[in-house]
Chains A and B, each alone.
Chain A
Amino acid sequence: MSTLATTGTGSAASPKTEQRRSGKNSLSVGRVIAWIFMALVMIVTILPFYWVLRTALSSNAGITSDPTSILPVDFNLRGFARVFGMQSTEEALADGGSGASMNFWIYLRNSVIVSTLVTAGQVFFSAMAAYSFARLRWRGRDAVFTLFLAALMVPSIFTLLPNFVLVKQIGLIDNLLGVALPTMFMTPFAVFFLRQFFMNIPRELEEAALLDGASKVRVFFQLILPMASAPISTLAIITYITAWNDYFWPLLVSYTDSSRVLTVAVAVFRSQAPTSGTDWSGLMAATLVAALPMLLLFMAAAKRIVNSIGFTGIK
């Protein structure tokens, strides 16, 4: 019914003016153009990841001789071997490597420790604060909450320099705890995110538990936390990914392998690559290895992450 009108007026001007929730499958010109555009967007999104994989599985000689081949040239895993330090220096140099390798397992361990510390601390402490702001009554609460609100607007660049000075003064430079510390207690966002959910839990439930003689601490642990497990795990996933991908702060505070996380390690690996005849195969293997943990996490929790994003922006 509406297909004709749409094709007639709207679609020539723009595909995005398509009929809103129109009949099951009205194949108008506009709809086809729109789908083509969407497909293009998805291809541009996905293809670069494939190209990284294809390069990582090729040899450097193969990349040079056949740069446009869709499939890996001279299929091998030596790029990965180089990243993991499983190749002898001579072999690595012969393959176009710099002789430097990544101590991948150490960086992976560091990334896991830092992200876990940040996530566990931030989510738990933020939940406590959110409960206090949402459900407990105490004088000065609104004023303190306003302070948290204001902190939301402090841009990170501004706190990074003084935070560095602070962490240096308490002797936590080049220490995993120092990498985790600034975001381990809370972020204003995490507090807001959880407060919003806690406020929506029906008060009657809490009051019933209190009538049964439970303390407020017990209500928090045994009622509020379990009831909010969905938003809490969503926040935990988002926090984990953010902590894992962070680069600037770890770059400032970590100097050696003992505290270097994966993002920084990849950047260092890149800066060690020779400027002439870059070891692209090795670099792309490193890139893939660094991206893989978060891509796997995303695959496992895509729906949860995707659906949480509206909340992030609008609330």
Chain B
Amino acid sequence: MSTATAAAPSALRRKPKDDRLLGIAFIIPAGIGLVAFYIWPLIRGIWLSFTEYNLLTPEQFTGLANYQRMVGDSIFWNAVKVTLEYVLINIGFQTVLALIIAVLMQRLTQSTLVRSIVLTPYLVSNVVVAMLWLWILDNTLGISNEIISAITGENVNFFSSALAIPTIAMINVWRHVGYTALLIFAGLQSIPNTVYEAGKMDGASEWTMFWKITVPLLRPILALVLIMTMIGSFQVFDTVSVTTQGGPVNASRVLQYYIYDMAFGRFQFGYASAMAVGLLIVLAAITILQYRMTRAGETDLD
């Protein structure tokens, strides 16, 4: 080995400039993607929010007009309200259910089959999931209503204005809960068994250990999972698009659907962009919160 080093020393010992060309060459394709589809759209999106633009004629700078319109747009505020309602229902059920499933998987069985089954809905598209539930929840022929009316004698219209958002939220819980459970499960695996053994020595019950050991040690992962699902659920679109298209009236017109409608239904790209900026700010705030929370939790792990 030493002879080989001696044979060709100059070519091998790395000098700083050694990798420079290659290093840059290797990130060029990814760099093009980054600039063209992340950085440039970000700048352009913000610019478009200050303009009036319909795709056909050049954009017209209108200053804060779009933002002023946004403040006075009751449909926009309704969309905010409906989206928040969706996010709360979706996250509440999803997190609690996923935590229970994850702990059960940890305690009962490490079987990959069980984990795969729970994950299955996540593997098919939102469109497929929406179609499937549209049929199961159908007002006249759906199996769930057949069962409900057999018991209560009445039909439930799951896509009525009062129930549309809870229904869509639960459909998406069904699709995502397995994925979330597996994330939490991975977090559970990282908690050392010795902590539990020590707890047991001190005579702590399983219930106490769950609250005093599992939950605190899981906090960073729970925070991460919570924020990830929150960012995801603020952008709900596919399920709404397939099931209710925002209806009845505006009952399920979530923010992302309203943005889509404004841009591609009415070609008001400027206004749509302004609303997207609004959503971006909310999501950025949540992301910052995520870092605070995960950092705050990190100390618990050691």
- Name A residues whose Cβ lies closer than 8 Å to a Cβ of B: 2, 5-6, 9-10, 13-21, 31, 34-35, 37-38, 41-42, 44-46, 48-49, 51-52, 55, 63-64, 67-68, 121, 125-126, 128-129, 131-133, 136-139, 141, 144, 147-148, 151, 153-159, 161-166, 168, 181-186, 188, 191, 210-213, 216-217, 220, 241, 244-248, 251-252, 263-264, 266-267, 270, 278, 280, 283-284, 286-287, 290-291, 294-295, 297-298, 302-303, 305-307, 309-314
* Contact B24 A153, beta carbon cutoff 8 Å: no
Q: In the complex, A182 Cα to B30 Cα: how many Å?
A: 11
| Interface residue SS majority, chain A | helix
* Contact A157 B205, beta carbon cutoff 8 Å: no
Interface residues of B in 28-45 (CB under 8 A from A): 29-34, 36-42, 44-45
Chain B residue nearest in CB terms to A248: B237
* Contact A295 B120, beta carbon cutoff 8 Å: yes
Contact with A along B132-153 (1 / 0, CB 8 A): 1111101001110011001000
Report which of B18, B29, B118, B209 forms a contact with A45, defined as CB distance below 8 A: B118
Contact with A along B38-59 (1 / 0, CB 8 A): 1111101100100000010000
Contact with A along B171-183 (1 / 0, CB 8 A): 0001000110011
Given A38-B104, A252-B264, A291-B128, check contact A305 B41 (CB 8 Å): no
Chain B residue nearest in CB terms to A304: B112
Complex contacts, B231 vs chain A, CB 8 Å:
155
* Contact A34 B104, beta carbon cutoff 8 Å: yes
Complex contacts, A220 vs chain B, CB 8 Å:
26
* Contact A306 B112, beta carbon cutoff 8 Å: yes
User: Which 10 residue pairs of A and B lie closest in terms of their CB atoms, listed nearest first?
Assistant: A185-B33, A310-B186, A138-B23, A162-B41, A17-B206, A245-B125, A129-B30, A10-B206, A136-B23, A313-B183
B185 at the interface (CB under 8 A from A): yes
Given A45-B120, A312-B183, check contact A270 B131 (CB 8 Å): yes
Report which of A147, A161, A212, A290 forms a contact with B127, defined as CB distance below 8 A: A290
Chain A residue nearest in CB terms to B272: A161
| Interface residue SS majority, chain B | helix
Given A137-B19, A138-B19, check contact A313 B1 (CB 8 Å): no
Complex contacts, B19 vs chain A, CB 8 Å:
136-138, 216
- Name B residues whose Cβ lies closer than 8 Å to a Cβ of A: 1, 4-5, 8, 12, 14, 16, 18-20, 22-24, 26-27, 29-34, 36-42, 44-45, 48, 55, 100-101, 103-109, 112, 114-121, 123-128, 131-136, 138, 141-143, 146-147, 150, 174, 178-179, 182-183, 185-187, 189-190, 193, 196, 200, 205-207, 209-210, 221, 224-225, 228, 231, 234-235, 237-238, 241-242, 256, 259-260, 263-264, 269, 272-273, 276-277, 279-280, 283-284, 287
